[in-house]
Chains A and B, each alone.
Chain A
Amino acid sequence: MIKIKNLKASIEDKDILKGIDLDIPKGEVHVIMGRNGSGKSTLANVIAGNEAYEVDGGTIEMNGDDITEMSIENRALQGLFLCFQYPVAIPGVSMAYFLRAALNAKNKHDGKEEMDAVEFLTSAKKILSELGLDDSFLKRSINDGFSGGEKKKSEILQLLMLNPQLAVLDETDSGLDVDALRTVAKGVNEFKNDNNSVLIITHYQRLLEYIKPDVVHIMIDGKIVKSGDMTLVHEVEKNGYAWLAK
């Protein structure tokens, strides 16, 4: 699904990613754990094409295509979705309007018909109720005055509606209470199937009680220093990251 080779990136001349190699095959869930400032969120942003970061080397391939130089929206249209850590508010633009615009952009790109309003509402309402959100959520300005939990649920709603091939979850678990965390995890599990992939970025293991990863990577100072299975998570939980740093 996605293959990252020796990826290096910086912001304002500060090197953040110092040679990342990552290969997530179809149908797998990978986790990147690491302390604050290790470069995890930078990786998520660079994968999505955020132009605030400079790519200094390496390649990102998605389904065999090199997307390293591709525009943000084209990556999205190819099936890349970023669950934002801090989704930004757009006052006056309703959730429904925004979601339909995104869906229609995707459908147009895929050569499909625009989704009609009834179809849209039916599927949106179904997902809303699963997330414990009221239908009126669709009428609210996107992320404007949303609580922390609502913001993350809104991201999951979009994830489920847009049904991408690769979902990158950037600290989606931060700032959530247990109930909201469960709801979000349920949404991610519902999304997951044999034909898509998930990359979870976190510095807690608590989300991993609900979503079982296939591979766990530990990131320290812009590099992946160790990869393994769930036992790695428990080791980090017990011993911290220090023993991995060299």
Chain B
Amino acid sequence: MVDKNQQIIDSTLDQEYKYGFTTDIEQTTFEPGLNEEVITKLSKLKKEPQWLLDWRLKAYESWKKMEEPTWAQVDYTPVDYQALSYYSAPKYKKNDSLDDVDPDIIETYNKLGISLNEQKRLEGVAVDAVFDSVSVATTFKEELSKHGVIFCSFSEAVINHPELVKKYLGSVIPRTDNYFAALNSAVFSDGSFVYIPKGVRCPMELSTYFRINAANTGQFERTLIIADEGSHVSYLEGCTAPMRDENQLHAACVELVAHKDATIKYSTIQNWYSGDKEGKGGIYNFVTKRGKCVGDRSKISWTQVETGSAVTWKYPSVIMQGDDSVGEFYSVAVTKNKQQADTGTKMIHIGKNTKSTIISKGISAGEGQNTYRGGVKILKNAENARNFSQCDSILIGDKCGAHTFPYIDVKNPTAKMEHEATTSSIGEDQLFYCNQRGINLDDAVSMIVNGFCKEVFAELPMEFAVEAKQLIEVTLENSVG
């Protein structure tokens, strides 16, 4: 029986990646290579002020002296940074009107299930669409501006809101923070910018949809979200890319700033191309995400559903500086075939009565390797800080792996920490039980896995919880025999 199951496991897991198509469109693409000239050219092209160019160049200087990190439990062909192109954009000019967006691009997003037509879009969700290196459209801008909410591409924010960008850029992730963050700081091309004014509850979900299309380019986007005092925002990002034999690099930075009494909820559904069964191709997803609870009673909550990418290196973190601030991290990470994920979070408690929650669910199938790496740091002045961590792993088949690396550093004796970790297989007995009630294998697996992920899916905005559930079902279809 075990043999039979194994055979089926081996012969499957090759569920077609739905989003693997390429859009044939004229693009302006930089020659491969990275140096000061390329950065200057990029900055000029974007009509950036001198201070930003200087900032980029300083980041580049630091990056050159840094070494690519090797501590993660991942194994991949090194990236040749000089062989990448650092900018690729569709050849048309972005206007304020959505009517002017290239029909091919609109069609691309339609195929991805993202309508840029405001009437057809899910009610209550505004979208910023990033195609390779640039934002191609942002919906519901007018509606949002009535509430004082700024939601635009990063490039537009640099032009229209330089004071905000200058104040907050790099305030959470310093440009020398780590190798990939430094690289991103030097070459980031676009991304989303959000500002929620004091006391405003953002009237709709905001989302950015990242699409990699061009070959041999890296995508380096930068997202900055600022929630002013007493404001509230829920933000979601989604990601897909064409199927290619070569690996492609995605090195993003996301910075969140929550002022007094503000709440930021940031959700990710990451479905980059993961490579084929043999592990050929796929996206390297090397991302730095961090939020800072600057003010008292502020809250930052990360929820991620990670199903794509060949290699994931990502630790959305929260710095709880304000007293009574809250950091949360809810994660479902799925690896199948030869995918590798090293993901987790860092919760840094600085203020008094700060509270963090970590719920991490790792699902490994095929030959996938799934690592949870999480740090909880409680500093000296963080009186009565509390952390609860729960890291559960589920294994499907016997060729995959799950690993847990918790790091705990407590400098204040009043801290309360709880850590729970479990690893289990989808049991033959669970499958037998479901089958005996007439439920077939695929339905049984998706039911068991969805039950396993329930606490995390419950954190996603409703529409996306359904999407996440379906994504997991498709990803794991036929993964058990």
Binding site for B on A (CB under 8 A): 48-52, 71-73, 76-77, 81-82, 84, 87-88, 90-93, 97-98, 101-102, 105-106, 109, 141, 158, 162
Contacts and interface: CB of A to CB of B under 8 A. Distances in A.
Contacts of B1: 51-52
Interface stretch (B119-127, B157-165, B250-258, B438-446): B438-446
A48 B452 CA distance: 26
Given A91-B451, A92-B450, A93-B447, A77 B438 contact: yes
8 contacts: A48-B432, A73-B438, A92-B453, A98-B434, A98-B447, A102-B438, A102-B439, A105-B443
A90 B451 contact: yes
Contacts of B452: 91-92
A105 B440 contact: yes
Nearest to A84: B433
A48 B436 contact: yes
Most chain A CB atoms below 10 A, which of B428, B429, B430, B451:
B451
Contact of A88 (B433, B451, B453): B433
A159 to B, nearest CB: 11
A73 B440 contact: yes
Given A52-B428, A72-B432, A88-B427, A162 B451 contact: no
B13 to A, nearest CB: 21
B8 interface: no
A97 B447 contact: yes
B437 interface: yes
A93 B444 CA distance: 11
Contact of A76 (B436, B441, B448, B455): B436
A158 B450 contact: no
Most chain A CB atoms below 10 A, which of B434, B437, B450, B453:
B437
A77 B440 CA distance: 10
B438 A71 contact: no
Contacts of B454: 92
Most chain B CB atoms below 10 A, which of A48, A52, A91, A98:
A91
Nearest to B458: A92
Nearest to A93: B451
Interface string B402-446: 000000000000000000000000011110111111111101000
A50 B432 contact: yes
Contact of B430 (A88, A158, A162): A88
Contacts of A48: 432, 436
A72 B436 contact: yes
A71 B447 contact: no
A106 B443 CA distance: 13
Nearest to A109: B438
